[in-house]
Amino acid sequence: MFNLKKVIRPNILTLEPYRCARDDFKTGILLDANENTHGPALAEISATEKTLELNRYPDPHQLELKQQIVNFRNSSPNKYSTIPLSVDNLCLGVGSDESIDMLLRCCCTPGKDKLLTCPPTYGMYAICATVNDVETVKVPLTIPDFQIDIEAVAAKLESDSSIKLVYLTSPGNPTGKLINVDDIAELLKRVTYSWNGLVVVDEAYIDFTAPNGEHSQSVSTLVNQYPNLVVLQTLSKSFGLAGIRLGITYCSTELSKILNSMKYPYNISSLTSDIALKATSHSGLEVMHKYVQSIVEQRDALLKQLLNLKYVGKNIGGLDANFILVEILDKNGSPSNEVALKLYNTLAVDNAVVVRFRGKELNCIGALRISVGTEEENKELLSKFEKVLNEINS
């Protein structure tokens, strides 16, 4: 039976959270945190900057922001959800990357424990594992639908107790394919009694899966039902806020308490919090949904036109993110990394259009990953894409 205390490293279980100045008092003449009481060293300061009191350390708990995020996700729960989220289910980080690294440090003893990934997948999992001296075990996604192989993953977990974490990306990067929610639920149930570890679902692109407000595909609202589930999200994609670096970890209240004890006390800046509060407000969510709908419409139109080009093969991935993954062919009609790489470089160097070569990822030969731009950007991309590709294959 799943036991969180046996997943967490023993030294982490003994950790007491750092108690900072703002935990005790927040008002009055504050002379307790060694802050510069004269204010920010700015020649000019806006009204907003003055209100934020940038000379003071930020709120270490961000309860107002957490509540807005919780309200948003609870308003459209997953079909399996029975217990709503609360602020005690959340830990905020500097982008999802901080959460990815923190979970490794929390659960995996260096040189002993392992991480399981399902390639093709996000490259930071393996990088963070290497930094933390954690071996990566790989069980590929199924082909051609890019779904988890439940039997293979479960068999690997049940045969190797040193695997403490499974990282799944849904929708996938670079695949752009949502992992079937039923399969995630099935995996969680399957390993609850046979394996002691955490299944981490990275949902950076989740809002692009239900642009019209349909029932949510996010499994974030399931963390109170599955104590072995952790879900990562970010404001970088659908909210268009990559520059503020805000990541969200959803998990059981027991694990959340541990992660919040591990995090640095002031990891979310006042500037980040201010923007995030506006973005997750009612008016901010309306803007986000409008932009997501526009991106989805442009994505479908862009893919249709790309697939009509002579040397573009199939759409390798799915239509669940703000990008597409297409196959580039040589003059003989075969997927070609050589042609795809040359097209990628020529577009960037000579045409000021930058896409991403992904041909070295597992089962992605000849693949280019293309983010969906504005209507004007997509028109320019298509024009230059066709011209350069025809020249390469001429």
pLDDT in tens, 293-322: 999 999 999 999 999 999 999 999 999 999
Q: Which two tokens stand for residue 129?
A: 């594992």
Are 275 and 290 members of one domain?
A: no
Mention every residue, 6+ apart, whose C-beta is less than 8 A from residue 351. Answer: 384, 388
The per-residue pLDDT for 19 is 79
17 vs 260 pLDDT, higher one = 260
Give the pLDDT mean for 150-173.
97
Give the whole-angstrom CA distance, residue 196 versus residue 357.
Answer: 37
Prediction pTM value? 0.95
Give the pLDDT mean for 360-374.
97
Give the whole-angstrom CA distance, residue 384 versus residue 284.
Answer: 35
Are 186 and 100 members of one domain?
A: yes
Give the pLDDT mean for 228-250.
97
Are 32 and 81 members of one domain?
A: no
Mention every residue, 6+ apart, whose C-beta is less than 8 A from residue 83. Answer: 224, 225
Q: Which two tokens stand for residue 351?
A: 């045409």
- What is the pLDDT confidence band of residue 23, given thresholds at 50, 70 and 90? confident
Give the whole-angstrom CA distance, residue 184 versus residue 222.
Answer: 11
User: Which amino acid would we find at residue 44?
Assistant: E
User: Which of 280, 303, 320 is the last residue before a domain boundary?
Assistant: 280
Q: Which two tokens stand for residue 112?
A: 């002993």
pLDDT for 27-51, tens place per residue? Answer: 888 888 898 999 999 999 999 989 9
The per-residue pLDDT for 212 is 56
Render 26-59 in DSSP notation, one character per residue. -SSS--SS---TT----SS--HHHHHHTTTSPPP
- CATH number of the domain residue 211 falls in: 3.40.640.10
DSSP character at residue 333: S
Q: In what order do the strands lie in the sheet with 356-357?
A: 312-315, 323-328, 367-371, 356-357
Residue 124, pLDDT above cutoff 70? yes
- What is the pLDDT confidence band of residue 110, given thresholds at 50, 70 and 90? very high
The per-residue pLDDT for 211 is 56
User: Which of 255, 280, 305 is the last residue before a domain boundary?
Assistant: 280
Q: Which of 10-24, 122-136, 336-350 has the lowest mean pLDDT?
A: 10-24
The per-residue pLDDT for 157 is 97
Give the whole-angstrom CA distance, residue 259 versus residue 282.
Answer: 28
Are 144 and 184 members of one domain?
A: yes
Alpha carbon of residue 147 to chain centroid: 17
Cross-strand pairs, 78? none
Give the pLDDT mean for 322-349.
97
**Rg (the chain; Cα; Å):** 23
Reduced to 3 states (helix: H, G, I; strand: E, B; else coil), residue 165 is strand
User: Under a CB-based contact definition with an 8 Å cutoff, are residues 191 and 154 in contact?
Assistant: yes
- What is the pLDDT confidence band of residue 96, given thresholds at 50, 70 and 90? very high
The per-residue pLDDT for 322 is 97
Are 264 and 343 members of one domain?
A: no
Give the whole-angstrom CA distance, residue 181 versus residue 320.
Answer: 13
Could you give the residue ranges of the DSSP H alpha helices within 176-252? Answer: 181-191
pLDDT for 51-67, tens place per residue? Answer: 999 999 999 999 999 99
Could you give the residue ranges of the DSSP H alpha helices within the chain? Answer: 4-7, 10-13, 47-52, 63-74, 95-107, 124-131, 150-159, 181-191, 253-262, 270-279, 282-307, 337-351, 375-392
User: Which of 258, 280, 302 is the last residue before a domain boundary?
Assistant: 280
Residue 368, pLDDT above cutoff 90? yes
Percent of the chain at pLDDT exceeding 70: 99
The per-residue pLDDT for 178 is 96
**Could you tell me if residue 186 is left (phi over 0), alpha (psi between -120 and 50 degrees) or otherwise beta?**
alpha
- What is the pLDDT confidence band of residue 215, given thresholds at 50, 70 and 90? low
> What mean pLDDT, rounded, does the chain reach?
94
Residue 80, pLDDT above cutoff 90? no
- By residue range, what is the domain housing residue 371? 286-392
Are 156 and 39 members of one domain?
A: no
Percent of the chain at pLDDT exceeding 90: 88
* Number of compact structural domains in the chain: 3
